[in-house]
Chains A and B, each alone.
Chain A
Amino acid sequence: AQSVAQPEDQVNVAEGNPLTVKCTYSVSGNPYLFWYVQYPNRGLQFLLKYITGDNLVKGSYGFEAEFNKSQTSFHLKKPSALVSDSALYFCAVRDNTGKLIFGQGTTLQVKP
């Protein structure tokens, strides 16, 4: 069965430092992977996706994610964190029927 794991409930980083939010997946066949961000009291916003091709995917707001097939990971990264990046981040994988399976979410806290 397809699944997604976000091993960290919360990630704390200082403003200006690089950030990483971790995601691992389990899927049969080729993975289709997504990252979404949720700001307080808002809906989810699409950040980026991996379908095929280059393992480094660039997305909105300076975020990028690295697909690693051997480690079954799709970690979200940003070279220099902003306080405004503080939010809840969700990793998701598309299953064989096209439905999204979400991880439990990781809260990113960027401190000034």
Chain B
Amino acid sequence: IAGITQAPTSQILAAGRRMTLRCTQDMRHNAMYWYRQDLGLGLRLIHYSNTAGTTGKGEVPDGYSVSRANTDDFPLTLASAVPSQTSVYFCASSIGARDTQYFGPGTRLTVL
């Protein structure tokens, strides 16, 4: 069982470019989440999805979009990357919206 996988592992991106970070889970969890981790700020929620077909905004949603076409996949898209989006991005999932969250290995993104 793989749990949660994220791709790519790392990426360097020119400002203004479009980028999609991929997240897949094989645990049949209903809820999925995207966080960014920045030094001294902990993890901040970008977007979430309580179930397939629904999404919601977290604490820092600007500049990001998500979709949840099925249970397993929850891609995060940066439509036009900016240097302030340089961060480590973590995907997480949980059985339900109020259950323990389990995290993927992360994607390190650098926007130049």
Which A residues are within 8 Å of any B CB, using their own CB? 32, 34, 36, 41-46, 49, 90, 94, 97-100, 102-105
Contact = CB atoms under 8 A, between A and B. Distances in A.
A98 B97 contact: yes
Contact of A34 (B100, B105, B106): B100
A99 B4 CA distance: 19
Given A43-B106, A44-B103, A102 B42 contact: yes
Given A98-B97, A99-B48, A46 B102 contact: yes
B98 A94 contact: yes
A103 B42 contact: yes
Contacts of A94: 98
B40 interface: yes
A7 to B, nearest CB: 13
B90 interface: yes
Contacts of B104: 43
A46 B3 CA distance: 13
Interface of B: 4, 40-45, 48, 50, 58, 90, 92, 97-98, 100-106
Given A34-B100, A98-B97, A100-B101, A90 B43 contact: yes
B1 to A, nearest CB: 15
20 contacts: A34-B100, A36-B103, A41-B106, A42-B106, A43-B4, A43-B104, A43-B105, A43-B106, A44-B90, A45-B103, A46-B100, A49-B100, A94-B98, A98-B50, A98-B97, A99-B48, A99-B58, A100-B43, A102-B42, A104-B42
Contacts of A97: 97
B11 to A, nearest CB: 15
A47 B98 CA distance: 17
A97 B45 CA distance: 13
Contacts of B58: 99
Contacts of A103: 42
A105 B90 CA distance: 15
Contacts of B41: 104
A41 to B, nearest CB: 8
